[in-house]
Amino acid sequence: DAKTTQPPSMDCAEGRAANLPCNHSTISGNEYVYWYRQIHSQGPQYIIHGLKNNETNEMASLIITEDRKSSTLILPHATLRDTAVYYCIVRVNYGGSQGNLIFGKGTKLSVKP
């Protein structure tokens, strides 16, 4: 079972920031927070990951609370092409079955013009 809880859906206006929350209250000290997204009828795409510090790359920013029990993925200027299902996943960063990605139901983000 997924170790994360996400809202099933969110809307965002084009050009505005999209803030997608994720709860992971049972996260272990060696587990990272990963975000993937899946555009309709395509395979998932990696976005970003982090352990406890905030992270930023060309796609998004990841804000992790100090107690690591929740995080927020931020798309700073959402476009229509960002419409997708966004998955928040916690996993360890080494091999074996514990390192496998376990996908929950994610948040369906709809970016509207």
Partner 1 sequence: SQTIHQWPATLVQPVGSPLSLECTVEGTSNPNLYWYRQAAGRGLQLLFYSVGIGQISSEVPQNLSASRPQDRQFILSSKKLLLSDSGFYLCAWNDLGGRTYNEQFFGPGTRLTVL
Which positions touch partner 1 (CB under 8 A)? 2, 34, 38, 41-46, 49, 87, 93, 95, 97, 100-106
Q: Which is nearer to partner 1, 8 or 113 (CB)?
A: 8
Per the CB < 8 A criterion, the answer to whether 101 and 88 are in contact is no
Q: Which is nearer to partner 1, 19 or 38 (CB)?
A: 38
96/9 Cα distance (integer angstroms): 32
Q: Which is nearer to partner 1, 6 or 70 (CB)?
A: 6
Q: How far is the CB of 13 from partner 1 (least distance, A)?
A: 26
Q: How far is the CB of 12 from partner 1 (least distance, A)?
A: 21
- Antiparallel, parallel or unpaired: β 84-92 and 70-75: unpaired
Q: How far is the CB of 38 from partner 1 (least distance, A)?
A: 8
Strand partners, 23: 5, 70
Identify which of 74, 72, 94 has the alpha carbon closest to the alpha carbon of residue 28.
94
Q: Which is nearer to partner 1, 2 or 74 (CB)?
A: 2
Alpha helices in the chain (DSSP H): none
Q: How far is the CB of 37 from partner 1 (least distance, A)?
A: 11
52/9 Cα distance (integer angstroms): 26
